[in-house]
């Protein structure tokens, strides 16, 4: 059934976008902290990715590593679904016509 196959691919893409967002968000938080102006001018508080994640965890708790997760999931969850559907369609078309 084409509708069932469409929904299956959509669900797989949605799940993969959501899971990848959950895995990636602590690294994104660390990157943002490193790139932002340091809290004390002239003193470098955030140096490396893992040092920054550890510092954020110790000072603010593990939930601070997941700040911005909901908007990221709202963007990348459906984005993963659309990307998988487009990829499957284009791949099928190219295999059929080329």
pTM score, whole prediction: 0.82
Report the b/e string of 21-48 with b at 16+ CB within 10 A: beeebbebbbeebbeeeeeeeeeeebee
- Cα Dmax for the chain: 63
Q: Domain range spanning residue 64? A: 2-97
pLDDT digits (tens, 9 = 90+) for 21-60: 999 999 999 999 999 998 888 899 999 999 999 999 999 9
Domain count, the chain: 1
């Amino acid at each position: 059934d084409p509708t069932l196959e469409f929904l299956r691919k959509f669900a797989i893409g949605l799940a993969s976008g959501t899971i990848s967002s959950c895995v990636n968000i602590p690294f994104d938080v660390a990157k943002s902290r490193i790139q932002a102006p340091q809290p004390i001018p002239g003193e470098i508080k955030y140096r490396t990715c893992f040092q920054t994640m550890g510092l954020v965890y110790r000072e603010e708790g593990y939930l601070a590593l997941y700040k911005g997760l909901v908007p990221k999931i709202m963007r990348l969850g459906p984005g993963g679904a659309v990307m998988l559907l487009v990829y499957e369609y284009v791949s099928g078309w190219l295999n059929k016509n080329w």
